[in-house]
Structure 1
Amino acid sequence: MTLELTVEQRDLQAGLRSSFARTTVGEDVRPALAEMGLTEIPFPERFGGAGFTLKDTAVVMTELGRSLGSAPYLSSIVLAGFCLLHAGSERACSQNLPAIADGTETAALVASFPFAASSIQATAGSGGTLVLDGVQEAVVDGADADLLIVVAVGADGTELAAIDGTAEGVVRTPREALDFTRGLARVEFSGAVAHRATGDDIGAGLDRAQAAAITALAAEQVGSARACLDMSVEYARTRRQFGRAIGSFQAIKHRLTDMLIATELAEAAVLDAAGADSRSTGEFVAAAATARVLACRAATFAAEESIQIHGGIGFTWEHPLHHYFRRAKTSELLFGTTSVHAETIAAALI
C-alpha cells in the first residue's frame, strides 16, 4: 500500500488549505465545500456523485480537522451518506443520495456503536414502511438535519430507514456538548413512519460503512493534531524567554518531536485505512481500527502538549487551542473508545 497522496489529492489538499487559511474556528465553511463540489466526492456518478475514493474524502476531513470549520460534512456525507451507500437499497440510494451529494439536503445518522447495535425498534408498516420507536443519544448534527438515516432492529433483524427530520413522531433535542463546533442531539421516535431503505446484505454493508466512517473521523483527528503541531512550532520560534527562543530549549524540542512522531504515525495509518476500502471487509475493519486508535492518541496528545508549550496563553478563552482540545476529547468518545478498537485489532491479529 502506497502511504502517500496522488498529485491530484495534493492539489485538493492545497486548495482546501488555501481556502480555509482565513477561516476562524467554528466558521461556516459549507459555501466553500459546495463551490468546490466536495460534497459529491465519495458517491458514485449514478447517484449524483463524483466517483472519487475514500482517500479523497480523508483529504477533505483532514483539512476540516485542521481548520475546525463548521459544516455537516461528517454527519451528512460520511456517516449518513456512507451508511446509505453501503447498506441501503438501490432504490433508497437513488432517492436520497443525489440531494445529499449536491448539498441541497443534509442528513444525520441515527445509530449506536457498533452501527448494527441499535436502540431503535422497527415494526413493519404498510406500503414498505417501517414504524420507529426508541431513543438515540449523541446524534451528530441530529437537531438540524433535513433527513435522518436510521439503523433499527426489526422482527427479521437489522433494518435501515430514511425519515424526514420534521416528520410526525420525531422529537429532536439539542444537547450541550464539550465541543462547541459540533452539534449533538437526542433523537426520539414515537410511532414515526419511515421509508424502508434496507439493502440486500445490511450486515456487511454496515461493517464497511462503519470502517469508512471511523477512517474519515481519524483523518479529521490527524488534521487537528497537525494544526496543534504547526501552532506550537511557530510559537516556539517566536516566543523568547531568558534571551532566546523557547524552541531552542531541549525540553521544548522533545515535546515537538514527540508530537511530530505521533501525528505522522497516525497519518500513515489513516492513509493505509483509506486505501483499504478495496480490500476484504475484515482487512478494512482492522485497518480502520488501527487508524482510529493512533489518531485518537495523536489528537489528544498534540492538543495537550500544545497547551503546555504555549504556557499561560494556551488555556485562555481567546486562544483557539481549547477548541482543538475539546474536539480531541469529544472525538475520541464518538463511535467506540480506543480500547474497543484495540480489541478489534487484536482479534484480527490473533
Structure 2
Amino acid sequence: MRFALSTEQLDFAAELRKILDAGQVPTAVRAWAAGDTGRGRALLRQIADMGVFGLIVDEKYDGADASTVDLVVALIELGRAAAPGPVIESAAVIPALLQRLTDDAPARRWLPALAGGESLATITFEAQRGIALDAEIAEPVLVAADGRLTLGVPATTAATSIDPARTLVRVTAGELIAEGPEVEAAIDYAFDTGVLACAAQLLGAGRSILEQTTSYAKQRKQFGRAIGEFQAVKQQLADVLIALDLAEPLVYRAALTLESNDRARDVSAALVVCGDAAHRAARAGLQVHGAIGYTAEFDLSLWLTKVAALRTAWGTADFHRGRIAEALRAAAPADAAS
C-alpha cells in the first residue's frame, strides 16, 4: 500500500508542532505531575482551538467531521511533544464511542464541550480493570464493561504509574447510560480507536526521543570528538530510525481500516510495532545520554517515562499479539493445515 499525507495534513501537523513547541510542554508536564493542571489545561485549550479534540466529532456536535488519518496526524504530534492529560480519551475514544450509540443524548450532552476544549473526559474498559486516567479532573468519567456504559464514580486513591504525569484513579460504575448489543459493539470500536491513538502517540514520542538523542550526540564530546561520530552510536540511532520508519505505515494502515473487519488485527499490530520502536528509541536515548537522561531534571526523562507507561496503557504486547494471532487464524483457509 502506498500512502502519503496531503499538503493540508502536513501543514496542520507543522502548525500544531509550532504551538506545542511554543507552549513549554515540559514545564506544563512537570506542573501537571505536581498536581497543578493549569498550564497543561491552557495548552490543551490552545490545541482544541486548532480543532484537535473535535477532529472526529460530527459537525452537529460542533466538531470538524474529519478523518481518522487526520486524528492520527494530530496524535503523533501530541506524542512527540509529550502533552499531558487524557488526550487519547478526549480526542479519540469517547467521541468514537458516543457517536455509535443509538441514543444521541450522551453525545449531545458531552461532545460539544469536548470538541471546544472546555472539558476533558476519561474512560476505563475491562482491559484496564477499572482504572481511568486523570478521573479527578475529567467530565465525563465513563466505565465501559460487560456491554454496559455507565458514569464512573472516582475513588479517592490513585494507582501508581511510572509516568508521574499520569494520575490513575480507580472508578466504580454509577448511573447507567446505555446497554445492549449495540453498546457492546460501540465499546469494542472505541477501545480499538484508543489502541490506534496510543500507537500514534508512541510513534511521536519515539520520534522525539530520536531527535533529542541525535542532537545530544552531535554536541557531547569524548576524546576530542562528538560522540555522534562513533560508529557504535551511529548504528544505534540508525536502528532506531529504521524501526520508527517501519512502524509508521502500520499506524496509517490501521487508521484506514478502522471501519473494516481487519480493525482489531491492524490496530494491535500498530501498537505492538510502535511500542517496540519507541522502546528501542528510549533504550538508545538513555544509553547515549548516560545517567543524566533518566534524571527528573532532564527533559528526556519525560519521554522515557511516557513511553514506558503507554506501552501497556491499552493492553500489553502479549494481549495484542494474541489478538493478531487470533485474527490470522480466523482468516486462514479451512484447508491450510492439510
Q: Residue in 2 aligned with 1:250?
A: 231
Going from structure 1 to structure 2, the CA distance change for 1:302 and 1:256 (only over 3 Å counts) comes to same
Aligned to 1:174, the other structure's residue is in SS state: strand
1:35-184 superposed matches below 5 A: 35-87=49-101, 89-113=103-127, 136=130, 138-153=131-146, 158-162=147-151, 171-184=155-168
Separation of aligned partners in 2, 1:107 and 1:317: 28
Separation of aligned partners in 2, 1:298 and 1:151: 30
1:335 aligns with 2:314: yes
Are the counterparts in 2 of residues 75 and 141 from structure 1 also a CA contact under 8 Å?
A: no
1:1-20 superposed matches below 5 A: 1-20=1-20
Going from structure 1 to structure 2, the CA distance change for 1:88 and 1:151 (only over 3 Å counts) comes to farther
Superimposed CA distance per residue, residues 197-240 of structure 1 (whole angstroms, 9 cap, x where no aligned partner):
34762233222212211111100000100001001111111222
Separation of aligned partners in 1, 2:101 and 2:269: 23
Q: Residue in 2 aligned with 1:129?
A: none
Going from structure 1 to structure 2, the CA distance change for 1:317 and 1:32 (only over 3 Å counts) comes to same
Are the counterparts in 1 of residues 125 and 191 from structure 2 also a CA contact under 8 Å?
A: no
Are the counterparts in 2 of residues 215 and 274 from structure 1 also a CA contact under 8 Å?
A: yes
For 2:96, the aligned partner's letter is F
For 1:175, the aligned partner's letter is A
Q: How much has 1:332 moved relative to structure 2?
A: 1.3
For 1:270, the aligned partner's letter is V
1:198-347 superposed matches below 5 A: 198=179, 201-278=182-259, 280=260, 282-347=261-326
Q: How much has 1:96 moved relative to structure 2?
A: 2.5
Going from structure 1 to structure 2, the CA distance change for 1:4 and 1:181 (only over 3 Å counts) comes to farther
Separation of aligned partners in 2, 1:316 and 1:67: 18
Separation of aligned partners in 2, 1:3 and 1:207: 27
Separation of aligned partners in 2, 1:218 and 1:251: 28
Higher helix share: 2
Separation of aligned partners in 2, 1:175 and 1:318: 23
Please, which moves more after superposition, 5-14 or 89-98? 89-98
Are the counterparts in 2 of residues 111 and 150 from structure 1 also a CA contact under 8 Å?
A: yes
Unaligned regions of 5+ residues in structure 2, if any? 30-38, 330-338
Are the counterparts in 1 of residues 48 and 115 from structure 2 also a CA contact under 8 Å?
A: no
Separation of aligned partners in 1, 2:145 and 2:271: 25
Superimposed CA distance per residue, residues 2-23 of structure 1 (whole angstroms, 9 cap, x where no aligned partner):
4332211111110011111132
When normalised by structure 1's length, the TM-score is 0.84
Q: How much has 1:254 moved relative to structure 2?
A: 0.7
Unaligned regions of 5+ residues in structure 1, if any? 120-135
1:16-35 superposed matches below 5 A: 16-22=16-22, 23-25=24-26, 26=29, 28=40, 29-35=43-49
Separation of aligned partners in 1, 2:159 and 2:321: 29
Separation of aligned partners in 1, 2:93 and 2:134: 11
Q: How much has 1:283 moved relative to structure 2?
A: 0.7
Going from structure 1 to structure 2, the CA distance change for 1:71 and 1:334 (only over 3 Å counts) comes to closer
Aligned to 2:158, the other structure's residue is in SS state: strand
Superimposed CA distance per residue, residues 90-114 of structure 1 (whole angstroms, 9 cap, x where no aligned partner):
2322332222222223221132228
Going from structure 1 to structure 2, the CA distance change for 1:344 and 1:195 (only over 3 Å counts) comes to closer
Q: How much has 1:323 moved relative to structure 2?
A: 1.7
Higher strand share: 1
Going from structure 1 to structure 2, the CA distance change for 1:312 and 1:161 (only over 3 Å counts) comes to closer
Going from structure 1 to structure 2, the CA distance change for 1:103 and 1:31 (only over 3 Å counts) comes to closer
Residue-pair matches, total: 315
For 1:6, the aligned partner's letter is S
Superimposed CA distance per residue, residues 72-92 of structure 1 (whole angstroms, 9 cap, x where no aligned partner):
322222233322223563232
Aligned to 2:5, the other structure's residue is in SS state: coil
